[in-house]
Amino acid sequence: MPKLTLGLVGLGNIGTFLAQGIIDHDLPYKLTFANEVDEQRANEFCKRFPEHSVQLTDLDTLAARSKVIVEAAHPSVVPVIAQKALLAAQQVEATKYLFVMSVGGLLQLSEEFYRDLSGSYFKIIAPSGAIGGLDAFSSMTLESVDYVRLTTRKPPEALGRKDKEVTEIYRGAPKPAFEKFPKNVNVSITLGLATVGLDKMEFVLVSDPNLTQNIHEIEASGAAGNVHIVLKNVPSPSNPRTSYIAALSIISALRRFSQNLLVGY
Ligand SMILES: NC(=O)c1ccc[n+]([C@@H]2O[C@H](COP(=O)([O-])OP(=O)(O)OC[C@H]3O[C@@H](n4cnc5c(N)ncnc54)[C@H](O)[C@@H]3O)[C@@H](O)[C@H]2O)c1
């Protein structure tokens, strides 16, 4: 497969990990364009990865000239880059793909955007991030489902808290949780969008001082059976706030995207 031109928005933990992953796993992407608000970080990134010959650029250029765009920055940038990429794909009538890590940002896109997206040449892909098993949970929703529930347990410091005891800090639908804890609920948005929708699933967020890692427990029951999985995630070596598996998930998603034989899709 010829190398696809890739534009990367956000050169922090996940962005840096991806740049290294493209080299380590010889992925067929040419990381050509990048956008980062922190100028010093951007320059350090370019020095660290001379093999990529990255051009730092604005979002318009990145959106217009990249075949594949990866957002690994902040939810607020998602509607901006998504609009620009959709417009660019419409103008040249050519396919374009946006991989979104800050999935909460997808909630900020208008109904009009989603109308234009459907049937366009543009596709948005949300990797599984810090959770997994979404293929099974998604398959279940083709038949009746009684419930889908995600319980996320994190050490208090990961939630910016100082709890001395196990404390349930949220129970309800994912959307209001995103407004309160935008950095901690990506997974609930991903699960909701992949299954029964954001209003029908239950999300529970627990602060647990006994933990050193993030634990996500997903339970679903319906006509196809019961599925129950638990993910005990270790933090990324370079950023303890991001689960290692979340950083790996974008590399895995891009690798699968480039393959001709897709297994477990
Ligand atoms: N889907 C998931 O399961 C999952 C898991 C972990 C992290 N995330 C999300 O992925 C994103 C990246 O995570 P990270 O650990 O790499 O964070 P990070 O803080 O290490 O890096 C983010 C980078 O983006 C830059 N940035 C912020 N706003 C920007 C903007 N408007 N334009 C360009 N650059 C901008 C920052 O300066 C920083 O360098 C975050 O939004 C995080 O919440 C999602």
**How many Cα atoms are found within 13 Å in the side-chain-facing hemisphere of 206?**
16
Q: What are the tens digits of pLDDT across the range 202-216?
A: 999 999 999 999 999
Q: Is 121 found in the same domain as 252?
A: yes
Helix (H, G, I), strand (E, B) or coil at 212: coil
Nearest CA to ligand 1 atom 27: 73
Q: What are the tens digits of pLDDT across the range 26-47?
A: 999 999 999 999 999 999 999 9
Give the chain's mean pLDDT: 95
User: What is the band of 180 on the pLDDT scale with cuts at 50, 70, 90?
Assistant: confident
pTM listed for this prediction:
0.96
Q: What are the tens digits of pLDDT across the range 127-162?
A: 999 999 999 999 999 999 999 999 999 999 888 899
Q: How far apart are CA 75 and CA 86, in angstroms?
A: 17
Residue 265 lies in a domain: no
Q: What are the tens digits of pLDDT across the range 56-113?
A: 999 999 999 999 999 999 999 999 999 999 999 999 888 999 999 999 999 999 999 9
Kindly tell me the burial class for residue 180, based on how many C-beta atoms sit within 10 Å of its own C-beta (0-12, 13-18, 19 or more): exposed
Residue 199 lies in a domain: yes
The label of the residue with tokens 């050519």 reads 94
Q: Is 95 found in the same domain as 202?
A: no
Ligand 1 pocket check for 11: Cβ under 6 Å? yes
Distance of CA 16 to the CA centre of its chain: 15
Query: How many Å lie between the centroid of ligand 1 and the Cα of residue 75?
Result: 8
Active site residue 216: yes
Ligand 1 pocket check for 35: Cβ under 6 Å? yes
Task: CATH number of the domain at 113, please.
Answer: 3.40.50.720
- Residue 192: domain span: 134-234
Catalytic hit among 25, 52, 74, 216: 216
Q: Is 98 found in the same domain as 16?
A: yes
Residue 239 lies in a domain: no
Q: How many domains does the chain have?
A: 2
Q: How far apart are CA 133 and CA 251, in angstroms?
A: 17
Residue 40: φ, ψ to 5°: -65, -45
Residue 125 lies in a domain: yes
Q: Is 161 found in the same domain as 87?
A: no
